[in-house]
Chains A and B, each alone.
Chain A
């Protein structure tokens, strides 16, 4: 009772007086209730915004302080964050013996796009084989399982070396005389398809068997039921984990540089070896971030949308 007579509104959750930003006591009923929801609602609640802004600045300042006050800060700044070197490596100068990191990232983008399309198709094929039940398919099911076990177990960089160095050495017509970037993309496809096929398989398993029964009971063939009933639901369920794998794929295109392909990381490497400054790697890192962050945010949005949809469904 005494608390209620106090001029200061009390936050019901923490039991402390609630103070607004300007130091004024908040009018009763505005701040004293519903503390939780306000923190999560974008645009609502100035106090929450101010608190989060301040805490962000404090954390960033602490990190910057550690970096700037370190004994070797000057050396690191010169080696990794030299603006002149960053700019030079970004635009490149073939006469000086180094390539533009900014232009090279375009190759990463193309490798990523080509690999992504091939992975989506190939991984689905593997998943469908492993998902199949007929005894006649047993041999290829074993093959598919072996494939997934193998390529999930072997480091991607070894697969890239094996294809990039091994296949040309076979001296076969056509397939041994491809540019290195083709072997690199092939290695990405082989390795990532093993992972993505498991994601697909999880999606296929997430569709309840009663959906298949309902489709088959209407006279739909196994293939038609798969195409129109099972796959659409499976793919919907796995879009977030699929995008997660593709964010990872975007970065791993850098490993193809080990074959001598001039992608962003390799271009940065060449710059550092020519000029003896690592700022080119910082440029490559920034470019990769610019590539991956939009996809990461897009994934977040899909996950959030999916969560809301499920909540809406559960409330019904």
Chain B
């Protein structure tokens, strides 16, 4: 534990071990059943991209894994531990799993530095000076060192989203969940955020990524899951899913994407 870990090479166990296992996950909002029996598995150091139309359940799935939404039925395991057991301390689970949202959700009343150091100092009880040093190192790594003392509203969308990623990384999570992190960005700002994610993937970070960036998903993912109406329709390596989809619904979705010139 005393060994300095950088977010790129977080070792969650030997490669190939199971980081997340989801079994028969159901979730409804009132009468609206958003997840209808999702089962999937994420290995350590694996990058999985969730694709599908808006409302297909991608975001809800990520929020359930982070325990931000209570689930109705099923089971989610983190490194073999059932985290949906009501006796589990959600705060302990969330320390292991970082999540980044579409709308950044930086704390507007805090500087960039404070945004990043808040959780390490309050949750991990890291001494303030050490937390600041670590935060500055991370911010420097992602090209944000001159924004350390700025408030979020002084930053571009791309910079804000990179800060949000750094904020999650500062907790040294084992797994990162990315919920359409480029969807709210101006097109010219998308690349700088995707570069950061690619760097994390190269460093071996286990990631579950909901995205509309098909080209990016094809380049970065080990596997792609296509969701429709709360179920996983098809799951395959990108080369296979994008070139030779098995299911008619996947083909229809990809055709629409191609027509919209998004692939």
Contact = CB atoms under 8 A, between A and B. Distances in A.
A216 B109 contact: no
A211 B152 CA distance: 13
Given A313-B153, A316-B153, A218 B107 contact: no
Contacts of A121: none
Contacts of B108: 233
A313 B152 CA distance: 10
Contact of B94 (A216, A224, A229): A216
Contacts of B95: 219
Contacts, number: 61
B100 to A, nearest CB: 9
A218 B105 contact: no
A228 B118 CA distance: 8
Nearest to A214: B105
Interface string B162-183: 0010011001000000000000
Interface string B92-115: 101100110101011111000000
Contacts of A224: 122-123
A316 B119 CA distance: 28
B66 A228 contact: no
A236 interface: yes
Interface string A157-196: 0000000000000000000000000000000000000000
A96 interface: no
B111 to A, nearest CB: 13
A221 B68 contact: no
A213 B105 CA distance: 9
A229 B107 contact: yes
B17 interface: no
B91 to A, nearest CB: 5
Contacts of A217: 66, 68, 94, 98-99, 168
Interface string A200-214: 000000000011011
Q: Which 6 residue pairs of A and B lie closest in terms of their CB atoms, listed nearest first?
A: A214-B105, A218-B119, A219-B95, A219-B94, A219-B123, A217-B99
Given A216-B94, A219-B92, 12 more contacts: A210-B101, A213-B101, A215-B107, A216-B90, A217-B99, A218-B118, A218-B171, A219-B171, A220-B118, A220-B123, A228-B122, A233-B109
